[in-house]
Amino acid sequence: MNKDIETIVQLALAEDLGSGDVSASLLEDKIIQANIVCREDAVICGVEYAQAAFLSLNQDIQINWQIKDGDLVKLSQVLCTLSGSSRAIISGERVALNFLQTLSAVATQTRLLVDKISHTNAQLLDTRKTLPGLRLAQKYAVKCGGGVNHRLGLYDCIMLKENHIIASGSLTEAINNAKQKFANLPLIVEVETLDQLNEVLTLSGVARVLCDNFSIQMLAEAVSLAKGKLPLEASGNVDNTSIVAIAETGVDFISTGSITKNIQAVDLSLRFA
């Protein structure tokens, strides 16, 4: 089992079980069969997390998955069948479903937006706006939905935003300082105006420019200015209704926190057969 998955599942089980599942203790512990069913169309993600929740409580539980991460399932489709200890299955149910429902929600929302812009060359990026403790899981879910991961954290990429620029005194100074101190890391620079974009385009060492809250007209102009020089990322006010127009400006990337934080859990159910 992946160690990161094992760690986060163990934390979730400890949070839920505490000193023990008093309700499950009322049951006769016998071998039962159960199904997890999806109650809506969705892109599924979180199989390994759900599996770990059950097997951490009883290694003898048999789980027959009928789908894999990234699969599109339909209303009333059975995701898996389980056979094993009634107490262990009912104790692991909520943690298993919590992971499946949340990660499937991320994958489903990502796929929705990716499909909307599939006629363009724009790629959909996630952000650091993830649920605490679930960053790696949610970024994995984004990939299952067809999206692309942005930086994982504050350590693997330099990203200069408005406050970094203000604190440095100028955009050029912030960029030069970043290149000097972290020459081996990719450098992304956020701009809020076309003038700032033009300033960045005169400098070297920048990997990508993020156009923050640009209007559609400004994005189109930015694409014209940066064409053949630097890839552009659009961010801000990205949703189901705006993403197509943004993508059609010709930007290379579109980033949005909505696919990891503005999500609605996929409706799943576990029932004893």
Contacts of 181 by beta carbon, 8 Å cutoff, 6+ apart: none
Collapsed DSSP state (helix, strand, coil) of residue 218: helix
- Annotation marks residue 116 as catalytic: no
Question: Which residue among the candidates 190, 208, 233, 252 is catalytic per the annotation?
Answer: 190
User: How far lies 181's CA from each of 91, 152, 203, 229, 270, in Å?
Assistant: 51, 20, 16, 24, 53
Question: Which residue among the candidates 94, 143, 179, 261 is catalytic per the annotation?
Answer: 94
> Could you give the CA distance from residue 5 to residue 50 in angstroms, rounded to a whole number?
10
Question: Which residue among the candidates 128, 135, 161, 179 is catalytic per the annotation?
Answer: 161
Which backbone phi and psi does 253 adopt, to 5 degrees? Answer: -135, 150
Counting every residue, how long is the chain?
A: 273
- Annotation marks residue 48 as catalytic: no
Collapsed DSSP state (helix, strand, coil) of residue 266: coil
- Annotation marks residue 115 as catalytic: no
Question: Which residue among the candidates 6, 116, 128, 129 is catalytic per the annotation?
Answer: 129
- Annotation marks residue 271 as catalytic: no
Contacts of 51 by beta carbon, 8 Å cutoff, 6+ apart: 63, 65, 96
> Could you give the CA distance from residue 146 to residue 21 in angstroms, rounded to a whole number?
38
- Annotation marks residue 3 as catalytic: no
> Could you give the CA distance from residue 246 to residue 238 in angstroms, rounded to a whole number?
8
Residues involved in catalysis: 94, 129, 161, 190, 212
